[in-house]
Every structure is written in structure tokens, then in C-alpha cells.
Structure 1
Amino acid sequence: MLALGERFKSYEAEGTVFGAINKKQFQNLPSIAPQPDIVSSFEKLAYPLDENIRSFEEEIRTLSETRDTLLPKLISGELRVPDAEKLVEGMV
């Protein structure tokens, strides 16, 4: 990446606020493709992390929905804390 520094600076000079690069310039940038065994090793490391992220995102959605359902009812007095606790226990 350091070797491309000067090329990136020239792209920055052409943009308005941020550097700009067109499709042809991008296609002409040198790139490398890793060997299949390296890709496989990376996938073995990354897949469990991706699964954790998906699991945490689902948990966040569930918690957000629970909060959005219970909080207005708790604030308005429509639902009491002990009753809310019972509802949440049933959800978890």
C-alpha cells in the first residue's frame, strides 16, 4: 500500500471533497489473489466470527423489540415491573 501512496495522492487531487477514482483507474491498480489454502484458512477463522455476529444481531433485535414493547407500558403504568419480569422470563 505504501508503494501506491503517490498514485492515491494524484486521485485525491482530482476529487472535490474526497479523493476520486474512476472504474478504469481502479481496474489498473495492481492486486494479488491469495492461494486457495490461505483463503481456506482465513474462512475457517472468519466463519465462526461471522456466525457470532449474526447471533448477536438477532439478540440485539430481540432485545430492542422487547424494550420497545415493554418500556412504554411500564412508563404509562399499564404494566407493572413484576408483570414485565414474568413476560420477559417467558421470552428468554
Structure 2
Amino acid sequence: MTDITAADVEHLAQLARIDLADGEIERVTGELIEIQHLIQKVQEVATPDVEVTTHPIAMHNVTRADEVGEPLDRDAALAGAPDSDGTRFRVTAILGEEQ
């Protein structure tokens, strides 16, 4: 793998329509070369016999199963309401005159 050049960075910046000053091109080139070297180090360590994971800890679904049950009747639902009209919840209006 060859190192990234300032010309490469300048070309990519032009394609992405990013205006970079000469000092920025040099800095970004150095940073990308360092990143490239770090990727090479990781590739040296990675082995094909290591199982690919998406999360370091095995995760499983902790929700309960969906089971059909008796629905809550209206009186029971309204019993805990701070205000109701006997058939539905009553809440304070939140919309102004614009509605």
C-alpha cells in the first residue's frame, strides 16, 4: 500500500469541493498517512480464525412474549385519571387560537 500524497488530498478535496489551504493540505496528508499506517497495523493483528462480532457482549431480547389478555375496560382505565367526563380522559388544551 502506498502512502497518500498531497496531490491525492488536493484531488479529493477538489472532488468534494472543499477549499483547503496549502498548510491544511500538508496537515491532512500527514494525518491520512498516519491513519493508513494504523490500519495496516490492525490488519496485521486481525486473523481469519477470530469470529466477527457486532457487539463485544452477547445480547439477547429481554422483552416478554406477546400474549393476548383481557383488555382494560373503560371504567378501570378512567378510574386513575385525574379528570374525565365519564367516557374519556379530559386534558388541558395545549393549542391556541390558531387552530
TM-score (norm 1): 0.30
Instruction: Give the number of the structure whose residues are more often helix, by fraction.
Output: 1
Please say which structure displays the higher CA radius of gyration: 2
| TM-score calculated relative to the size of structure 2 | 0.28
